[in-house]
Amino acid sequence: MVTVAMISDFFFPNVGGVEAHLYSLAFCLRKQGHKVIILTREREDFNLTGVRYYSNDLKVYYISCPSMPSGIILPCIISCMSFLIRDIMIREKVQVMHGHQSTSLLVIIAAFIATCMEIPYVLTQHSLHEFGDLASIELNNLYAFMSKYNVARTICVSNTVRENVILRHKASEKHAIVIPNAIDFCFYSKRELPQPKNPSKVRIIFLTRMTFRKGIDLFLEVMPVICKRFKHVQFLVCGDGPKRNMIEHVVREFSLESQVEFKGFAAIEDVPYIYSSGDIFLCTSISEAFCLAILEAAACGSYVISTDVGGISEILPKEAISLCNPTASDLIDKLVAAIEDKKYLNLFRTQEVIEESYSWDSVASEVSKVYTEVLTEQRPVDWVQMVKEVWSGMFNFGSLIFLFMLTNVLFFVVEVIFGGKSRRMAVDLDTSAASKKIKK
């Protein structure tokens, strides 16, 4: 049994791929006998601060810290939060720290703390990142340094992400490994609808965050053309975001109200019913590491038409998906072919393939092997070489690393003054008895 602390700015009650991945992985690792806790930032809007328990006695620490509107904490390596995280690691007897999503500042800070405490650190990359703009260059330099001194393994959700990580982080092939995402097939499966489908209609589901990266501009070109050509086609548009107003404007401009329905933000429990109500799921993303929505829609019986970007081509067998160039003309051609040939009626064992290939229990077993590997490895930190690299100009975050080293000194002073022997260890809450009473 390994005691693991999973760390990220992104967790419930927020909804997203990272949040769902974090919870599902923690749940399955606990089923396999590991002790897992989660550290994330507080959610003032939901009144979530302190310790909360989820199903399967999963303990979540909502750490009180200042955050930015983007949903990540403020950068603060030298702060009470660093000592709070250190205290939690000691009290919970954490053996491995596991960060999720490289854009989370909590993940970066935790990597430095893990090095100070000599705890192996594993990082899961959920996204693809650019190389050209200034912010990406600086972030890539930071993670190249972290891969060398802080991160023991980097888990990538697709082969495309792995290639991206090796180039960005200058990581070795052994350092970056691929463990794909998964879904709960019992939850994402074809549902019986309150009202049966109309066989004379073709329903296209477009469920996404309405942002530039999700290819909303492509969708705005595709939707009017398809609606004009096929009067029996209906679009169900679900989600919210800054570009929703543009979609509503196009619907009004082309008078498509009878063929386009807006559902807005979809609650997680409604999503399988939304997928099951459709015939075709449309994905217009211009960048994706691993599109969970495609997997969920296919599991619920929808035929998928998607842009061929990132790791999307690795997800489904070719009989279950039509891949397009990220252009409006190619998307239109593939949609026309699917509607005219009724490809959505022949799904070729898609659900069986997904159930066999994308199980959370299998993912948890693979991640558990990574924990075992990093615990058996000897990875001493070369402090002298680290200092030389910082001040030789090879790394642009010299002041940040200086703060990190100062944190290490402060940790040592705190340990000398207060010690760890008299510290009260955390006690796990046993809710099994209460759960039995509720069931009765």
Domain endpoint, select from 307, 340, 357: 357
Quick one: 207 and 289 in the same domain?
yes
Structural domain includes residue 150: yes
Please report the pLDDT score of residue 411 as a whole number.
64
Quick one: 332 and 209 in the same domain?
yes
- Are the C-beta atoms of residues 92 and 3 closer than 8 Å to each other? yes
Structural domain includes residue 440: no
The total number of structural domains that make up the chain: 2
Quick one: 376 and 227 in the same domain?
no
Quick one: 117 and 234 in the same domain?
no
Structural domain includes residue 188: no
Q: Tens of pLDDT along 280-327?
A: 999 999 988 888 899 999 888 889 999 999 889 988 888 888 999 999
Please report the pLDDT score of residue 218 as a whole number.
95
Please report the pLDDT score of residue 241 as a whole number.
87
Domain endpoint, select from 357, 390, 413: 357
Q: By CB neighbour count within 10 A (0-12 exposed, 13-18 middle, 19+ buried), where does 107 fall?
A: buried
Quick one: 389 and 424 in the same domain?
yes
CATH of residue 59 = 3.40.50.2000
Where the chain has pLDDT below 50, the residues are: 395, 434-440
In whole angstroms, what separates CA 375 from the centre of its chain?
Answer: 24
Please report the pLDDT score of residue 437 as a whole number.
47
Quick one: 144 and 115 in the same domain?
yes
pTM value is 0.82
Q: Tens of pLDDT along 325-383?
A: 999 999 999 999 999 988 877 766 677 778 888 889 999 999 999 999 999 987 777 76
Structural domain includes residue 194: no
Domain endpoint, select from 324, 357, 390: 357
Range of the domain at 319: 202-357
